[in-house]
Amino acid sequence: MLYASDHPWVEPVVITDCLDRAGLSAEELTKIYSLNARRADPAPGT
């Protein structure tokens, strides 16, 4: 599952607060917030 900031039902901070308090490592949070999406849809030339 990819985190999406266009979630229409709640403010994004509700989701990010839950993730930030979940006890995940910095590496896991980085993957959730950016790396997984970049890997799924890389920008041209990457």
Domain spans in the chain, listed from the N-terminal domain onward:
1-40
pTM for this structure?
0.58
- Mean of all residue pLDDT scores within the chain: 77
Tokens of 29: 């949070």
Beta strand ranges found along the chain (DSSP E)? none
- Report which of residues 42 and 16 the model is more confident about: 16
Q: Which amino acid is at 5?
A: S
Q: Average pLDDT in the 31-41 region?
A: 75
